[in-house]
Amino acid sequence: MGDAKMNKIVNSLLEWYIKNKRLLPWRVDKNPYHVWISEIMLQQTKIETVISYYCRFINELPTIASLADCSEDKLLKLWEGLGYYNRARNLQKTAQIIMNQYDGQFPNSYFEILSLPGIGEYTASAIASICFSLKEATVDGNVLRVYMRINNCYDDINNVKVKSRVRNELLSIMPDNPGDFNQSLMELGETICLPNGIPKCLICPIRDYCQAFQKGNYLELPVKYIKKDKPTEFYTIFLFLYHKKVAICRRKNVGLLQNLWQFFNISNKMSLSQVKDYLESNHILFCDVKKSISYTHIFTHKKWNMVSYIINLESISNISDVQWVNLVELEEKYALPSAFQPFKKVIVEELKNNDEA
Ligand code: SF4
């Protein structure tokens, strides 16, 4: 596409963005702390969901210093439901680095920002361009979709070389307000040039320059190489109840969801009679066992297929390394990863029913 045409696209996008941008809490100012927290939260979660999490987080931890000093339990509780708990831990590590190495001031060069834990090219470019007006291009799924459609390009957007080429081409047309330009492309992708369903071409500010609109093939773009199905692991979740308390335990300090709270579980899916056999062979005395819900949780690289059982215990003498928590503690004090949330809901209901009985 020629330079004159590209300049027209840039100007049309900027004009449209200034008039139509959504009023989001992290857009009120250009504070890098605010932009950083919102970008990390937005990595896997929709804007509508992030707004309430973001406001609660900033309300509780209003500064980089408060994040650096916060207890891990409080941090994870604020993050509960967003998943990917290592992101929350990396936020704190980064806050501590900024306090110790940058006198509490967010670094203002792209490579210093990129060197911080949990910050990749996309987030570093977003912070650098929005907060420090540095000419860096943010290339995410939204931007790639818009770019491929405008240029009627069938290259695989999961290919790193393609992504890098798009970044270079965007850098070559980057205007003097890079933050607004990057956000205009992302905003267009989120609100007009939609990922699922039909894009709203009739109200698109760059319709006149869009080759996919002219050809009518926008639904074929962008092209993505299809990944293989994710491997599945199977688990049986034991929801142990004793005197209106439920057992939770810490995960190991390595691997997925490290050091987070969970319900007791073992690998493989067990039938009701296998669960009873397991309890008896481990000398765990129970009053009754009933099958509860099954749930499959999808992570980035794997799936967990889980079945659960509610087990009312007669004695807890042969159960070790667990914490016994009541309803209030389970709801307010301990953060459980999303993978265990459906079981938490079940056990909360069970504890409430026990209370009423
Ligand atoms: S005209 Fe349609 S396909 Fe082209 S960029 Fe706009 S919304 Fe996307």
Domains of the chain as residue ranges with CATH = 3-137+160-195 (1.10.340.30), 232-356 (3.90.79.10)
Ligand 1 atom showing the smallest separation from residue 199 Cα = 7
Average pLDDT over residues 241-268: 91
Q: Report CA(212)–ligand 1 centroid distance (Å).
A: 7
Q: For residue 253, with 0-12 CB atoms within 10 Å meaning exposed, 13-18 middle and 19 or more buried, which class applies?
A: exposed
Alpha-carbon span 104 to 150, nearest angstrom:
42
Q: Report CA(204)–ligand 1 centroid distance (Å).
A: 6
Interior CA angle at 35 toward 33 and 37, to 5°? 65
Q: Report CA(266)–ligand 1 centroid distance (Å).
A: 49
Q: Report CA(213)–ligand 1 centroid distance (Å).
A: 6
Q: Does the Cβ of 83 fall within 6 Å of ligand 1?
A: no
Tell me the three state secondary structure of residue 1: coil
What's the N-to-C CA distance of the chain in angstroms?
72
Q: Which of 39, 80, 187, 190 is catalytic?
A: 39
Alpha-carbon span 77 to 204, nearest angstrom:
40
- pLDDT of 84: 84
- Average pLDDT, rounded, for the chain: 93
| Residue 25 token pair | 């809490």
Q: Report CA(189)–ligand 1 centroid distance (Å).
A: 9
Residue closest via CA to ligand 1's atom 2 equals 201
Average pLDDT over residues 45-49: 89
Q: How many CA atoms lie within 13 A of 34 on its CB side?
A: 14
User: By the 8 A CB rule, do 147 and 166 touch?
Assistant: yes
Instruction: Provide the pLDDT confidence category of residue 317 given band limits of 50, 70 and 90.
Output: confident
| One-letter identity of residue 287 | C
User: By the 8 A CB rule, do 297 and 339 touch?
Assistant: yes
pLDDT of residue 116 exceeding 60: yes
Ligand 1 atom showing the smallest separation from residue 221 Cα = 3
Average pLDDT over residues 192-198: 92
Residue for token pair 């070559």: 172
pLDDT of residue 254 exceeding 90: no
Mutate to test the pocket of ligand 1, among 153, 196, 206, 211 (most ligand atoms within 8 A of CB): 206
14-23 contacts at long range (C-beta below 8 A, 24 or more positions apart): 14/175, 14/177, 14/180, 14/181, 14/184, 15/205, 16/184, 16/188, 16/205, 17/180, 17/183, 17/184, 17/187, 17/188, 18/180, 20/187, 20/191, 21/183, 21/184, 21/187, 22/47, 22/187, 22/191
Closest CA to 239 of 297, 306, 186, 191: 306
Residue for token pair 């770019």: 147
User: By the 8 A CB rule, do 279 and 353 touch?
Assistant: no
Q: Does the Cβ of 213 fall within 6 Å of ligand 1?
A: yes
Q: Report CA(273)–ligand 1 centroid distance (Å).
A: 57
Q: Does the Cβ of 201 fall within 6 Å of ligand 1?
A: yes
Q: Does the Cβ of 149 fall within 6 Å of ligand 1?
A: yes
pLDDT of residue 261 exceeding 90: yes
Alpha-carbon span 146 to 181, nearest angstrom:
13
Q: What is the pTM of this model?
A: 0.73
More confident residue, 44 or 286: 286
Q: Does the Cβ of 206 fall within 6 Å of ligand 1?
A: yes
Q: Does the Cβ of 119 fall within 6 Å of ligand 1?
A: no
78-107 residues labelled b (16+ CB within 10 A) or e (exposed): bbbebbbbebbbbbbebbbbbbeeeeeebb
39 labelled catalytic? yes
Q: Does the Cβ of 193 fall within 6 Å of ligand 1?
A: yes
Q: Percent of the chain, pLDDT > 70? A: 98
Q: What is the pLDDT of residues 145-183, one digit of tens each?
A: 999 999 999 999 988 899 999 999 999 999 999 999 999
Q: Does the Cβ of 145 fall within 6 Å of ligand 1?
A: no
